[in-house]
Amino acid sequence: MAGSTTRRRGGSGRDALARLRAICLALPEANEKLSHGEPTWFAGKGKVFAMLDDHHHGAAHLSVWLPAGPGIQQALVESDPKRYFRPPYVGPSGWVGAVLDTRPSWTKVAWLVEQAYRLVAPPKLVAQLSPSPGAAPRR
């Protein structure tokens, strides 16, 4: 079909999606909807805090795109450019992409997802979370 994207979500891609879905849906009032043909997670009835990129527009990897606070995108990309990148479309707004199909640290992915959620969720939902640890986990 013209204009369709090729999905490469094999066994490891399905596992990555299942793990990401569990991380996202564990947050207060998080919900999943398809947006631009990809699973996308929203904080309550509010804003997007995570978007799956399953080789969309020919991307070389399965990844999650997350809104990030000032300076976070640059720091992550500089620290590990094979793992983190500036995603198209939303990258100029500070979002960061995290590659999921090359054995990510799921502890760090969960931490990044929670930080993205805290950034966009209404205060009443953020208040339901445990206090945020300051630094990202190493593993």
Fold category of 11-126 in CATH: Aspartate Aminotransferase, domain 1 (3.90.1150)
pLDDT at residue number 125: 97
Comparing 6-20, 74-88, 103-117, the range with the smallest average pLDDT is 6-20
- The band of 131, judged by pLDDT with boundaries at 50, 70 and 90, is confident
- The band of 10, judged by pLDDT with boundaries at 50, 70 and 90, is low
Q: Edge-to-edge, what's the strand order for the sheet holding 38-43? A: 30-35, 38-43, 48-54, 62-66, 96-99, 84-85
Long-range contacts, stretch 7-10, CB < 8 angstroms, 24+ apart? 7/54, 7/55, 8/54, 8/55, 8/62, 9/54, 9/62
Select the more confidently predicted residue: 32 or 60.
32
pTM: predicted TM-score of the whole model, two decimal places:
0.86
- The band of 25, judged by pLDDT with boundaries at 50, 70 and 90, is very high
Work out the average pLDDT over 73-86. Answer: 96
Q: What is the pLDDT of residues 101-127, one digit of tens each?
A: 989 999 999 999 999 999 999 999 999
Domain ranges of the chain: 11-126
What DSSP character marks residue 55? S
pLDDT at residue number 1: 34
pLDDT at residue number 37: 87
Give the list of residues 6+ apart from residue 90 with CB closer than 8 angstroms, or none.
51, 65, 67
Give the list of residues 6+ apart from residue 106 with CB closer than 8 angstroms, or none.
19, 23
Contact at 8 Å (CB) between 5 and 57?
yes
